[in-house]
Amino acid sequence: MPELPEVEVVKKSLEKSIKNLIIKKIQINTKKLRYFVDKNKINRTVGRKIISIKRRSKYLIIEVEKNLSILAHLGMTGKFLLLNKKKKLKRTSFYYQLSNKGSKHNHVIFNFNNNTKLIYNDVRKFGFIKVIQSNKLNQSTHLKTLGPEPLSKNFNTTYFKKFILNKKKCLKDLLMDQKFVSGLGNIYVNEVLFKSELRPNKIIQKISTKEIEKIIKFIREILKKSIKLGGSSIKDFKDGEGRDGNFQQLFSVYGREGEKCLNNKCQSIIKKTVISNRSTFFCKSCQK
Partner DNA sequence: TTCTTTGTTCCGGA
Partner DNA sequence: GTCCGGAACAAAGA
Q: Which stretch binds DNA (CB under 7 A): 113-121, 160-168, 210-218, 238-246?
A: 160-168
User: Which of residues 145 and 249 has its CB atom nearest to DNA in the complex?
Assistant: 145
User: Which of residues 40 and 141 has its CB atom nearest to DNA in the complex?
Assistant: 141
User: Which of residues 59 and 120 has its CB atom nearest to DNA in the complex?
Assistant: 59
Which of 47, 89, 278, 285 binds DNA (CB under 7 A)? It is 278
Which positions are catalytic? Answer: 2-3, 58, 278
Q: What angle do CA 166, 152, 227 make, to 5 degrees?
A: 120
Q: Binding to DNA by residue 285, rule CB under 7 A?
A: no
Q: Identify any residues that bridge with 50 across adjacent strands, giving them in sequence order.
A: 64
User: Which of residues 1 and 22 has its CB atom nearest to DNA in the complex?
Assistant: 1
3-state class (DSSP) for residue 195: helix
Which of 168, 206, 228, 284 binds DNA (CB under 7 A)? It is 168
Q: Which stretch binds DNA (CB under 7 A): 20-28, 153-161, 166-174, 240-248?
A: 166-174
Question: Do the strands 278-282 and 271-275 form a parallel or antiparallel pair, or are they unpaired?
Answer: antiparallel
Residues 98-127 that bind DNA (CB under 7 A): 123-126
Q: Binding to DNA by residue 150, rule CB under 7 A?
A: no
Torsion of CA 216, 218, 219, 224, to 10 degrees: 130
Least separation, in Å, of the C-beta of 145 and DNA? 6
Pure H helices in 83-156: none
Contacts of 232 (CB under 8 A, 6+ apart): none
Q: Binding to DNA by residue 251, rule CB under 7 A?
A: no
Q: Binding to DNA by residue 24, rule CB under 7 A?
A: no
How many helices (H) and strands (E) the chain has is answered by 7, 11
Question: Rounded to whole angstroms, how far apart are CA atoms 3 and 246?
Answer: 16
Q: Binding to DNA by residue 151, rule CB under 7 A?
A: no
3-state class (DSSP) for residue 99: coil
Residues 186-245 that bind DNA (CB under 7 A): 186-187
Which of 20, 115, 156, 276 binds DNA (CB under 7 A)? It is 276
Binding residues for DNA, rule CB under 7 A, total 32
Question: Rounded to whole angstroms, how far apart are CA atoms 250 and 235?
Answer: 18
Q: Is the dihedral of CA 105, 233, 194, 161 positive or negative?
A: negative
CA distances from 251 to 13, 114, 220 (A): 24, 40, 15
Residues of this chain that interact with DNA (CB under 7 A) are: 1, 3, 32, 34, 57-59, 73, 75-76, 123-126, 141-142, 145, 166-170, 173, 178, 185-187, 274, 276-279
